[in-house]
Every structure is written in C-alpha cells, then in structure tokens.
A and B are shown apart, each in its own frame.
Chain A
Amino acid sequence: MAGVGSACLLVALLTAVYAAAVSLYGVRTGNRAAVVSGRRAIYCMAALLIGATAILQSAFLRSDFSFKLVADGSSTDTPTFYKVTAMWATQDGSLLLWALLMSIFSSAVLFLTRRSLRAIAPYATAVLAGIAAFFLLLMIGWENPFTTLANPPIEGAGLNPLLRHPAMMIHPPMLYTGYVGFAIPFAFAIGALIARRTGADWIRATRRFALIAWTFLGMGIMLGALWSYSELGWGGYWAWDPVENASLMPWLIGTAFIHSIMVQEKRGMLKIWNVSLVIATFVLALLGTFLVRSGILDSIHAFGASTIGKQFLIFIGIVVAGSAVLVISRLDDLRSKARLDSLLSREAFFLANNLVLVGLCVVIFWGTFFPLISEALSGQEASVGPPWFNRLVTPLALVLVALSAIGPVLPWRMVSRGGIARSFRIPLAVTGLTLVVLLAFTDAADSPLSLVMFCLTALVLSVVGQEVVRGAAARRIVSGDAWPRALAQLIARNRRRYGGYLVHAGIAVLFLGVAASSAFQEQQDVRISPGDSFRAGGYDITYERATAAIGSDRAGTGAPISFGAILTARRGEESYELHPSRNFYPSQDVATGPIGRFFEGEATSEVDVRWGLRRDLWAAVRPDIGELEPAIREANTKFADSNDDVQALVIAALVKRYRDNPPPASFRVIDSPLVSWIWIGGAIVLLGATIAIWPSPETRLRRVTSIYAARLGKELSKA
C-alpha cells in the first residue's frame, strides 16, 4: 500500500505542475478550455491527496509497522483517537496534511470563483499549484511519509506522551488550516497584480477565505495556549517561545489585513498596503513552518535539526523576491484615488490599528530572531526572555484595545464633534464608573497596567453594547418587532458589522483574563508529605494521601502507571478535592532494566484544574520515585528472566508500595483569578467570526437571482 501512497504523491506533483502550466497557457492565449482544465487538475490533485491520506490513516489504524511513520509515531496500545491524529505529530505527516488542506482549500475557492474573476483566477490557480508542488516535492524528495521499513518492528514507539492531549491533536490542523487559508488571498493578490486588476474584486472573492483562515489560526493559537495551561506542568498559557511567536506573527498581520481591506473596498485606498500585508502574512506563515522545521532557534519545540530547513528558506526567498518585484513593477496600478480626509475618521483609525499590529509583529519578530541577529552583529549568541516581550508588547496591546473601542463607531471620512459626544458619552461614563468601583472595592490599583486594561475592557464592552442596543432600538421602531426578534434581525442583516463587534468584545474579554491572571496570580511550590498543609493564594491546601494506579490514567492516554495525590483545598466555606497525577510511560531503553523501564521512561504531568469564572485553582504534582529506586534495581536483577505475568505482579507491588508508604512529593499550586475569561473571550471571538463569515440571506438571494437572470438572458438570446 505504501507504494500506492508514494505514487499518489508523484501523480499529484505532476498534476500540480500541469495545472500551473496549462492555466498560464490558457490565460495568455485566451484559451478558455485550457483554463478550465487547469482548474479541474486542482480538483484532481485534491482527490489524489485525499487518497494518499486515507492510505496513511488506514496504516495507522491497522498499526501496520512496515510504514516508518506508523512505527515511529504509534503503537498497538495507543488509543484510537491518538492513532488517527498521530499523522501530524511527525514532520512528513504534517507536510502531507499541509498539502491536503492546501489542495482542498484551493479547490473550494476555484469552484466558487469559476464564473467570475476570469482575468485573475488562472494566475491564482498557477500560484496555488506552485505552492502545492513545493510541498509535494519536499515529500517526494526528502520526507516521504510513505517510507517503509524492510524489517518492521513488532511494536511501534508510540506517540510522544506530551502530545497526548485532545487540544494538542486539534491544534496543528487548525494552525495549518489558518496558514493554508492565507495562501488563498495571497494567490489571488498575486493574480490581481499580474493581471493588473488591482481593484477590490480579488478582495471580495477571497475575503471570506481570509476570515476563515484568520479564525482557524486564532483558534489554533488558543488551543495551543489551552494545552500549555492544562497539560504542561508549569501552569502558564504563553511563554513567548519561538514557535508560539511564529504562529502569532501571521495572525497579527492577518488581523491588520482583514481590517485594511475594508478601507480598500469602501474608499479605494491602501492598495499597496493591502497587497503587502497579504504577502507578508503568507510569508510569515511559511516562516512559521520553517522555524519549527529547521530547528535554528532553541526552543522546547526544536526537536533536533531537520533536513528540509534549507529548502524552506529557498522557497521563502523565491516568494519574497518574486512578490517584491511584482509589487514594484505594478506601483502605477496601485496608486490610491482617495486621500485621508481627517484623522478622526474610521479609515484613519483602521490605519492606526494596522500600524500598531505591524509594530507588534515587528517587536515579536525582532525578539524571536534576536539570537540570530545578535550572533550576526556581535558574534555572540544571546536571547531575550519573556520579560522583554511583556515590557514591549503590553503598551502596544493597550493601544490596540483602545483603538478597537473607538474605531468601529466612527463614520467613514470624518466625524463631527457632536457625533463623538453622542457615541462616547455613555461608554466613557461606564468606564469611569468601572475605574471608581475597581479602586474602591478591589486591589486592582496594585498593577496600574492591568487597571488600564480593565478600564479599556469596560470601554470596549460598553461601546459594543451601546451600538447593539441602539441598532436594535432603531429596528424596533421601523418594524415594530419585539426586542429579541429585532436583535436577531439586526445581526442577521448586518453580519459582518455585528460579528466584528462581537469579535472586538471577545478580544477585550480575553485581554481582561490575561491582565488579571498575569498580574494577580499567586503561585506556590512546595515539597510535603501526606497530612501536611500549605497556603496558596486564598486557599488552604492539604495533601491528603498519595494515589497510584496501573492501566487507568484519568486522561485515557494509555499510560501504564500513574502516581498522583489527592489534595483538599479550602477557601472560606468552599472545599473541594483536586487529583493531580503524573503518568509514566515505558522506556524503550534496555539499559533501564525489565522492571525499571516502566518507571524510567517519559513522564508527563496530568494537571488538575478547578475551573471557575472568578478564579481557577491549578495543581500539578511531581511524585518522588527516588525512594523506589533501590527496590526497582533489586527487582531488575531478580526478575530479569521471569515471564510477563510475574513482572506485572512485581510492578503492581512496587506501585502499591508507593501508595502505602508515600515519600514527600513536590507540588505546584496556582490561584489564578479570571483566567477562564481568556477561553471565554476566545469562544466569543469564534462566535463573532462565525457570524461574520456566514453568508447573509441577502447575498444568497442576490446570487440566486443573478443566476436566474443569467439563465433568462441565455434563453432570450437563443430565441
């Protein structure tokens, strides 16, 4: 079967090359049939890649260890969910996923634009086919996911335990969907530049794809943060790690892009800026992939150097150079007709928000690549840590949230003094009230920056609330509907606008959670024996007793042994139990001994979190198995030749020994206020983005009527 998979990839590569060539030929010579053939070749490529993925997935499900990928990333005892998702835990598998998503997205956009954009779409087809060809070439030439092993092992190595978390398995496909999604507006922008059709047509055709890509990328980043918080045993959600930064940078520039294209649609301005942004977004998405794959920067994710870093760098070089030449050669077509009328207008605020977003991206870029920059300038490798990022990013983030409150309610072109007063009187009053309440009743003043963020959140929420209430009230007057119906109608008829408001509200809520949890969390690290107590934040915590289990870890990750603890937390009247534990996965290293290998392999924290709207209580445990070591060593020599059943009994005895005579264990407990609002904010953003993306009834109606009109025209012309 592996042969068929490899053949699929090879044929897909040929199809991509054909699609690119025939589309270019068709548009140059005006041959419509060639253009159609190019488009259909993309559908064909998608079908081939779906086939290849199906072959690989079935190998994972059947645990066919003659596939190198399966032997390295799965095992018979890996739970089915993780077998299905193990594909993208490896480099070759991720490349296949990239190419698969790329071909599906390309097919979708080309299908939707098959009757429009005749001048641009063929070039876009060629660009998309070119990108797909690059990924296929990487797989065929260097990282073939269908590599087979001549002597398949009896058992696979299993999926890296750290990756056994539901969020972690959904996170990579989400990020890829985001990265790949931005390839669509990129390809159409390039097409528009080549064809010198630099109006807003390419934007209208791909706007929804940009929004979808933005949403997926954002959700991917959120899930990554959630994974970090609830799986990694350190208790944070963001560490300014190079790979986190790599996914944030295209998202920031993508955010700038989806704002500034509105200015081009409405006012015909910022054309150069928009094409530059979409090119930058795509290049940053490639760069993100490159960063992870090349291992040039030290990070927790740099799992050893890779073979395809150089190829990525060359491809990025080609994309950057080609795009730059194209933009410069089309500068005359990109000049704006309109000018900025006033600094107090929506477009001016969009521009300001763009500059802040790009500034943020520049800061993060500099910090991420600082080790390379420093080595080039001073010959010494040095790096900047999270405090540096926090210091520079925080003020920019504050400005950004402030802009997101003001911008959307300003009218295009310019605003009158009376207009400003009408829009901001109530929100400013609400913000002032919030400030007074916070100062009077909480200790928020201890962190001035957080206090500013709380007030800005209040400002954003009240502006959005006011807009929604005013809109619904106006609708009620016109239609006489009841409030809920008026509200639903209002949103349904202005999806982009109110979806956008909701996204702003969600982002503000998210920042509320970030500000509160980063400034006011209290963390405690202790090492205690059962029966002892300690204090963490507002909680009194007691280590009640140790737990130890075989073959039944709570998260269902397939870990044979897990040691844990039962803690009780008391805060005033409330009291509850926490069950943090630590899973131990067997080592493949024979030197650790037949019994020892079950204790000396990888171990991962299974964090327990008491989620709450007001505060989270987060707990992780690190059992000290040092005291078991003499017994393990003894068992290694004594039972080296015993059969599996006896060895299992010995392991069970060791586990019981830990439970009955537990040594002191290390705990980390964090009392973190409002941290849940980060995830709630993310959910609000998702809801808002979905509303904005969903086609509104009017556009569907318009599309249907235009199709009917076209058919009628055809009939009439025949007659």
Chain B
Amino acid sequence: MDPRRKRKLRLFVALSAAVLLAGALIYTSFSASTQASTPSDLLASAEPGRSYELTGKVVSDSVDKRGERLTFEIRDRDGTAKVPVTYEGVVPDPFREGREVIVSGTLEKGKFVAERDSLITKCPSKFTKDDKST
C-alpha cells in the first residue's frame, strides 16, 4: 500500500474509534443517568420505577431509626413540600435534621425507597469553607 493511502486509512480508523467512543459515551450516560429532583418536582411528576436523585433538607423531628432501617422526611430547600424516605445502609457522619442531603432511589406509593448506601450529606455551615482537598 502506498504510504499516503496508508496514512489516510489510519486516520479513518482513528476517527471512527473516536466517534464510536463518543457515541458510547453519550448513549450510556443518558440511559444510565439518574435525575436530580426536589420533593416538589417528585410529587408533581414522578414516573414509577424511574430512578431519581432526591435533594432537599431533612425535616426536623422526622428522623427515626429502627434497627437497620432509617426513615426520615425530605423537604424543599425553601418550601414545605415533603417526601417520606426509607433508607438502609451507611449513614454519613454529618447526617442531621435540618441539613441538606442527596439520596437516590425510586418513588413507590408516595414513599421514596432509597438505594442502599446512596445517602450523601452536604457539609454543615460551621465548616463552610473547609475542604478536604485541592
């Protein structure tokens, strides 16, 4: 094969690989993503069986721990719409009533059933500027 054609062929192969990767990236990310919602979004338009990432504040006096199972309510950051949550798994150290949390799961019969170990707590204001890295 003459070198010019060879180079063109290589370029073609490399570009197709790049396009394939990009396609895989876009396809898999949109199909595997979970949507972030607030309690009011969720109550307004939740499809059963779809995975959501619920964000909001933990309602005061709603936290109840029975053995492994933790139940609490999440409300809108500035609002009153709230959703009850059942959760099992590791509770992050800074989890408290009134703090902002993120939890993934599905809405089943008006209750948010969280995936195991999906609870993330945003840090409290006392350490607003604290950071572990970078």
Contacts and interface: CB of A to CB of B under 8 A. Distances in A.
Interface string B2-39: 01000100100010010001001100111011111000
B93 A157 contact: no
Given A90-B130, A303-B123, A388-B28, A162 B33 contact: no
A366 B93 contact: no
A392 B25 contact: yes
Contacts of A605: 93
B32 A163 contact: no
Contacts of B117: 234
Contacts of A220: 133
Contacts of A179: 134
A372 to B, nearest CB: 12
A298 B120 CA distance: 9
A301 B131 contact: yes
B133 A172 contact: yes
Contacts of B17: 355
Report, as a range, how many residues of chain A touch the other chain: 35 or more
A302 B129 CA distance: 9
A381 B21 contact: no
Contacts of B92: 300
Contacts of B36: 298, 371, 380-383
B34 A382 contact: yes
Q: Is the interface of B mostly helix, strand, loop or mixed?
A: mixed
A391 B29 CA distance: 11
B25 A366 contact: yes
Contacts of A160: 123, 127, 130
A392 B24 contact: yes
A521 interface: no
Query: Could you say which of B29, B36, B91 has the most chain A C-beta atoms within 10 Å of its C-beta?
Result: B29
Given A388-B28, A525-B89, A602-B94, A163 B35 contact: no
A300 B35 contact: no
A247 B134 contact: yes
Interface string A74-90: 00000000000000011
A418 B18 CA distance: 33
Contacts of B68: 525, 527, 666
A603 interface: yes
A370 B94 CA distance: 26
Interface in B93-134: 93-94, 102, 104, 117, 120-134
Contacts of B21: 359, 362-363
Interface in A651-673: 664, 666, 668
A175 interface: yes
B67 interface: yes
Nearest to A92: B129
Contacts of B124: 602
A292 B65 contact: no
B125 to A, nearest CB: 7
A417 to B, nearest CB: 19
A247 B21 CA distance: 23
A664 B65 CA distance: 12
Nearest to A227: B132
Top 5 A-B pairs ranked by shortest CB distance?
A382-B33, A381-B36, A292-B134, A160-B130, A304-B128
Interface of B: 3, 7, 10, 14, 17, 21, 24-25, 28-30, 32-36, 53, 55, 65, 67-68, 89-94, 102, 104, 117, 120-134
15 contacts: A72-B129, A92-B129, A224-B132, A227-B132, A233-B90, A233-B93, A243-B134, A303-B127, A303-B128, A367-B29, A382-B36, A384-B33, A388-B28, A392-B24, A604-B93
Given A224-B133, A289-B134, A366-B25, 12 more contacts: A160-B130, A162-B94, A220-B133, A293-B134, A298-B120, A300-B120, A300-B121, A381-B36, A382-B35, A384-B33, A384-B34, A624-B65
